Structure 1
Amino acid sequence: MYRPSEPEGQRLRLETRFERPRSRGGSLLDLLPDRPEPSTIPAPIVARSQGIADPVPSRVSDYFPGLPLLGSIGIDHIVAWLRDGFRWIVLALFVCVAGALGYAMTATPRYTVYTDIVVDPANLNVVSDDVFMSNPQRDAQLLEVESKLRTLTSRNVLERVISKLRLTEDPEYKPTPLSALMALFSSQHAKAGKELAAMRALSERVEARREERSFVVVLKVWSEAPDKAVTLADAMVDAFEAELFQSAAESAGRVAENLNARLDQLRRSVTEAEKKVEDFRRANGLLSANGELVSNQLSGELNTQVLEAQQRFIQAETRYKQMSAAIAQGQTASASVFESADMTNLRQQFNTVQQQIGAMQLTYGERHPRLAAARSERTTLEAAINQEARRIAERAKADFDRERSSLDALRVKANDERSNVFTDNDAQVHLRDLERDARTKAAVYETHLARAQQITERQQIDTTNIRVISRALPPESRSWPPRTVILLIGGAVAGLGIGVTLALGLGLWRYLRAQQRATA
């Protein structure tokens, strides 16, 4: 067909090239390209015969003979093809709209709910020296949040939800027909197959992601019923918190278990160290009272007694020497060192007689019989005073000897005890070493014991800082499939596109075939 936009020469060349006598009957051989005439030998063959290098093909039509025919297609061809294929367009449109309507009526609806959770990487600081340390670096915090995000959709959390909501008995989570058929031949694993099918179905309905530049995690859950979707979302959050708590409790439990295992060894070590201290103390007689060795206390007390005995000895010696001097000088009557009741009485009598003698001398004279009797009485009193003085001196001598003997005995004991103190002090050096070892081991044991008890109590405390800032709410409409009107519009557009494509494809195929037959 002639088109004004084509040059006249090009149209004539195409008509000349494809001009061929037609045969009445059609054949597949008509579709084969004609044998090139001598004048139409390709340029590469001519060049090769003349000894010239093969030129690079400059036209794609050398490899695709039917491609030049596409240039002769006009708008009227396309309109004619669409008119001829109108029934295909209508059929495709009807099929797609019917398919969309059928899908809208039979597709399982999905109701999606969203839950916003703040996963704070810093746990609650319940105790000052917790088992878990918080890293202030932001990258480490993001990694911790991502780890907890992975925990939110882990199998442990899904198993908790399945067990809590009994999803194995829910028809929505029933196994596929193939899985159910396989379960018939393995009845012992039927329950495991149901749980695995429920877990796979639930994992497809759960999705979690972290918001950019925040610690907020968005949990997406869908189900066939709005209320069930909300229930699943709440169960997922509860299972997530329980899993984090159980994970922390198990970690603390492992630490406590290791500490308790270590405590047995530390307890035996402390017992052995304290036993060594007591055995060494008993073997060396290192008795202690109030934190001090008894030998040191006894030595101190003996030294005190020696000092007191020495003072008493000095006093007794001085008293005895004074008495001896008074007796030697005949001053027993006037010496104050002689003190006793009899001496006092005798002195009083002696003074009375002495006064009487003085009075009689003035009254009667020297030869008066009464004066002589008084003098005789004075002599008797003097003898009694001297005898009493000697008796007191003998008693002082006995006290002096006793104090000296006591002092000597105490000095001997003090010297002996002093040697024992030196020996005990040498032994106490090794005892102190043993006591330090025992105290160190006891301190380590007490520290581990307190830490183990603290960690054991820590297992009962939930320190995970997880907060739900937006609870799941029942959705107003389903998230999939879209509304029926949208599906119908989409089906109509898809059917129209498929029908137009099919009509144009059939028309192009017929046109090319007709052109090739015309040039045959």
Structure 2
Amino acid sequence: MYRRSEPEGLGLRLERPHQRLRSGGGSLLDLVPAVTEEPAANEEAPAEAEDGTSARVVDIPVPAQARALEKQPSPVADFFPQLHLLGSIGVNDLIGWLRNGARWIVLALVLSVAAAFAYAVTATPRYTVYTDLVVDPSNLNVVSDDVFTTNPQRDAQLLEVESKLRILTSRNVLQRVIGEMRLADDPEFVRPTLLDWLKALIAPRDAEADKELAAMRALSERVEARREERSFVVILKVWSEEPAKAIALSDAIVEAFEAELFQSAAESAGRVAQNLNERLDELRRNVTEAEKRVEDFRRDNGLQSTNGELVSNQLSSELNTQVLDGQQRFIQAETRYWQMSAAVAEGQTASASVFESANMTNLRQQYNALQQQIGSMQLTYGERHPRLVAARSERTTLEAAMKDEARRILERARADFDREQKALDALRGKADDEKSNVFTDNQAQVQLRDLERDARSKAAIYETHLARAQQITERQQIDTTNIRVISRALPPNARSWPPRTLILLIGGGLLGLAIGIAAALALGLWKFLRGKTHVAA
């Protein structure tokens, strides 16, 4: 390579590129053998660096085609005359640029450390608290047939927990917290700005609604909830500018979450109870109409029942019993009549036992006593004795009286026989008539039982719905959500943001150092491309 310090008459020479690589002032392009020409006589002196030292100019051989292109005018080449020397920048050049920009590096370092310290002093601190909850997808089993069923599948349970996790940070829960803690009036959550004042002047709106909306946005940014993997544990994260307020917010969110779940379950149960009550009116009307049809059918067909049995069946059974009794009485009267008739025909009225009456008994006693007297008289007196003749005449009178009494008893027996026969015929007629009524009533009883079954089924459905509606109404007053707080929020040991002052200062110093180095290198590269500096040898 041609150098200014060498004699001018040396002419063309080859340069050994590996010598430049060993010296640290070159690039890989220098490995290509370069032929340098002797500079022209009117060549300008080398440019002087900013620090007063003279930089050596390295001439890189350019192919003929490239030289032809360089001869053409280019705006970029005019603005960056040393752009084609970009590949020749080495470590020494970078070190020189850093040395020349040391003041910028120091300035950036000082400013970054100062900015970090100012931020650490003036930044609003954040205090983060954590609350651990167990969100069991299975509600408390207060009643055996609860209106809300539980799915035993794990995927469904995880979906249930994820749904409740979304409710934990929902607007309804946050709205409860805002109203309870009056966050709309808290300067930490609602900070009026000049822009809000201008908007109020241009388009006046409801100030309270705007405050609640601003508090909702601020609170939603401070609340975060996530579920631990492979568990039902939910971690609630809340931060605030004050530790006590962060704890109060966390507790209020948990209470609002439980209240929201209870209200949601109560509203769902209330809707079911309302629908059941609306259905109960129709069911009640159906039951009343069915029971009315039963009673109308029973009245129209004369189906009276006692102790679950129709009166016609009971009456038919009683008539059958009476027919049997009448038949027995008729047989007895008939037998007695024929026995008396046979005794009268045979002339045994005095000795026959079928003739029973008080008068007949008296006549028989008289007849027997008279017969004894006649026997004793026959032994004492003769056959023609007046007393014996008078006794025999008296006996004849007694026999005639007994015959008359027997005929009277026979006539009475005949009357009893006729009466019993008529009574039996009447009872048989009534029994036959009642049998036809029983058959008719039994046929009607089939339709009646069908109507009664319909009425009973509708009554059973109505009673079931009525009991279910009352149960669900009571269920609204019971909180069955299975939410447990296993770790309540505790006061934090330190602020979560910003980090400690020492960490901020270290970070600011590193950032300032990086910015300063980048600025020094950028400034050195700019000057190099503009041709204000040259590549170091």
User: What TM-score does the superposition give when structure 2 sets the normalisation length?
Assistant: 0.84
Alignment CA distance shift 1:462-1:432 (3 Å): same
- Paired with 2:325 and 2:412, the residues of 1 have a C-alpha distance of 20
Q: Given that residues 90 and 499 in structure 1 are in contact (C-alpha distance below 8 angstroms), is that contact kept between their aligned partners in structure 2?
A: yes
Alignment of 1:100-499 (within 5 A): 100-177=116-193, 178-179=195-196, 181-183=198-200, 189-499=206-516
- 2:187 and 2:108 map into 1 onto residues whose CA distance is 36
1:225 CA drift (Å): 1.0
Shift of 1:146: 0.6
Distance 1:242 1:14 in 2: 89
Change (3 A) 1:67 1:206: farther
1:50 corresponding residue in structure 2:
none
For 2:38 and 2:286, the matched residues in 1 are separated by 110
Q: Are the structure 2 counterparts of residues 234 and 356 from structure 1 closer, same or farther at C-alpha, using a change threshold of 3 Å?
A: same
CA separation of 1:84 and 1:260: change in aligned 2, threshold 3 A:
same
Do the aligned partners of residues 375 and 23 (structure 1) sit closer, same or farther apart at CA in structure 2, a change above 3 Å counting?
Answer: farther
What residue is the counterpart of 2:105 in the other structure?
A: 89
List per-residue Cα deviations over 1:491-515 (Å, max 9, x = no partner): 1111121112212221222233336
Q: Which amino acid aligns with 1:464?
A: T
Cα distance, 1:226 vs structure 2: 0.9
Distance change in 2, residues 1:312/1:186 (3 Å): farther
Is the 1:175–1:198 contact (alpha carbons within 8 Å) kept by the matching residues of 2?
A: no
**1-side partners of 2:425 and 2:397: how far apart?**
42
What are the Cα deviations for residues 139-166 of structure 1, in whole angstroms up to 9, with x where unaligned? 1111111111111111111111111112
Q: Could you tell me how far 1:365 is from its partner in structure 2? A: 3.6
Q: Report the Cα distance in structure 1 between the residues aligned to 2:37 and 2:307, rounded to whole angstroms.
A: 134
Q: 1:62-77 maps to which residues of 2 (within 5 A)?
A: 66=83, 68-75=85-92, 77=93
Cα-Cα RMSD: 3.1
| Structure 1 residues 486 and 516: alpha-carbon distance in aligned structure 2, compared to 1, 3 A threshold | closer
The residue that corresponds to 2:72 in the other structure is none
Q: Which amino acid aligns with 1:146?
A: E
Q: Structure 1: any 5+ residue segments left out of the alignment?
A: 27-36, 46-62
Note the C-alpha offset of 1:68: 4.1
1:287, 1:80 → 2: CA distance?
Answer: 125
Superposition TM-score, scaled by structure 1 size: 0.86
Aligned-pair distance for 1:282?
A: 1.8
CA distance in 1 between counterparts of 2:453 and 2:219 reads: 63
User: For the Cα contact (< 8 Å) 1:183–1:189, is it kept in 2?
Assistant: no
Distance in 2, Cα, partners of 1:364 & 1:175: 163
Measured after TM superposition, the shift of residue 176 of structure 1 is 4.8
Q: Alpha-carbon deviation of 1:234?
A: 1.0
- Check whether the contact 1:179–1:193 (CA below 8 A) recurs between aligned residues: no
Instruction: Please tell me whether the aligned partners of residues 190 and 214 of structure 2 are also in contact (alpha carbons under 8 angstroms).
Output: yes
Structure 2 match to 1:41: 65
Q: 1:447 to 1:39 in 2, by over 3 A?
A: closer
Name the CA distance, whole Å, in 2 between partners of 1:268 and 1:185. 62
- Tell me the CA shift for residue 284 of structure 1: 1.9
> How far, CA to CA, are the matches of 1:408 and 1:43 in structure 2?
154
- The aligned amino acid for 2:430 is K
Per-residue CA distance 1:311-356 (angstroms, 9 max, x = gap): 1111111112212222222222222222222222222222222222
Over residues 469-520 of structure 1, what are the superposed CA-to-partner deviations in whole Å (9 max), with x where a residue is unaligned? Answer: 11111112111111122111211111121112212221222233336789xx
The alpha carbon displacement at 1:14 in A equals: 9.3
Give the Cα–Cα distance (whole angstroms) in 2 for the partners of residues 333 and 433 of structure 1.
69
Instruction: Structure 2: give runs of 5+ residues left out of the alignment.
Output: 4-19, 49-60, 70-79
Give the counterpart letter for 1:411 in structure 2.
R
Give the structure with the higher percent helix.
1
The CA distance in 2 between the partners of 1:468 and 1:505, in whole Å, is 57
1:112–1:220 CA contact under 8 A, matched in 2: yes
| Compared CA separation, residues 412 and 420, structure 1 to 2 (3 A) | same
CA 1:354–1:119 in 2, change beyond 3 Å: closer, same or farther?
A: same
Question: Structure 1 pair 375/184, CA: closer, same or farther in 2 (3 Å)?
Answer: farther
Change over 3 Å in CA distance of 1:9–1:382 after alignment to 2: closer
CA contact (8 A) 2:29 2:88 kept: no
Shift of 1:185: 5.6
Deviations 1:431-477 (A, max 9, x none): 22222222222222222222222222222222211111111111121
Contact 1:162 1:198 in 2 (8 A): yes
Cα gap change, 1:353 to 1:103, in 2 (>3 Å): same
In the superposition, relative to structure 1, how do residues 15 and 87 fare at CA in structure 2: closer, same or farther (>3 Å)? farther
Structure 2 counterpart of 1:257, which letter?
Q
Matched residue SS, 1:171: coil
1:173 aligned counterpart, secondary structure? coil
Q: Aligned partners of 1:181 and 1:149: how far apart in 2?
A: 39
User: Does structure 2 retain, via aligned residues, the 8 Å contact 1:119–1:217?
Assistant: yes
- Identify if the C-alpha distance between structure 1 residues 18 and 407 changes in structure 2 by more than 3 Å, giving closer, same or farther: farther
The CA deviation string for residues 410-440 of structure 1, in whole angstroms up to 9 with x for no partner, is: 2222222222222222222222222222222
Q: Distance in 2 between matches of 1:186 and 1:249?
A: 41
Deviations 1:389-422 (A, max 9, x none): 2222222222222222211222222222222222
- Once the two structures are TM-superposed, the CA of residue 98 in structure 1 deviates from its matched residue by 1.7
User: CA–CA distance in 1 between the matches of 2:222 and 2:152?
Assistant: 35
Q: How far does residue 180 in structure 1 lie from its aligned partner after superposition?
A: 5.3
Q: Hey, what's the Cα distance between the residues in 2 that align with 1:334 and 1:44?
A: 182
Paired residues of 2:82 and 2:529 also in contact (CA < 8 A):
no
1:58 paired residue number: none
Partner Cα separation in structure 1 for residue 472 and residue 250 of structure 2: 33
